[in-house]
Homo-oligomer: A and B are copies of this chain.
Amino acid sequence: MKIEKISKKYIPMTETAFYILLSLTIPRHGYGIIKHVEELTVGRLVLGSGTIYGTLTKMQRDEIITVYADEKRKTIYEITDVGKELMRHEITRLKELHVNALMYEGEFK
């Protein structure tokens, strides 16, 4: 699938998708992602099993991640080049969001 179609589907990216793709810069399996995201967010974000396996299947279908290795009780994924391009777009959007957040922060005191 082309990057334009993928972008339309995945941007704005859900927090779940964002942290899964961040995690997959290193090949990991589902459960490993859950633990890594938990660590990255200091316990704030604990992905449900339905969320992780559902999302991984969807992302694999859209070819933004791919199977890196298939061990007996672990399917290990990694991000693809299309996935990386998607993340560059998403990070650009996050920067815009961050700039606006800082600009208006004082209004919420």
Give the B-binding residues of A (Cβ under 8 A): 12, 14-15, 18-19, 22, 25, 40-41, 44, 84-85, 87-88, 91, 93-98, 100-101, 104-105, 107-109
Contact = CB atoms under 8 A, between A and B. Distances in A.
A42 to B, nearest CB: 8
Interface SS, A side? helix
A98 B100 CA distance: 12
Nearest to A90: B101
Given A22-B104, A84-B108, A104-B25, A94 B91 contact: no
A17 to B, nearest CB: 11
26 contacts: A12-B14, A12-B15, A15-B97, A19-B100, A22-B104, A25-B104, A25-B107, A25-B108, A40-B100, A41-B96, A44-B93, A44-B96, A84-B107, A84-B108, A85-B108, A87-B108, A88-B108, A88-B109, A91-B108, A94-B94, A94-B97, A94-B101, A95-B98, A95-B101, A97-B98, A98-B98
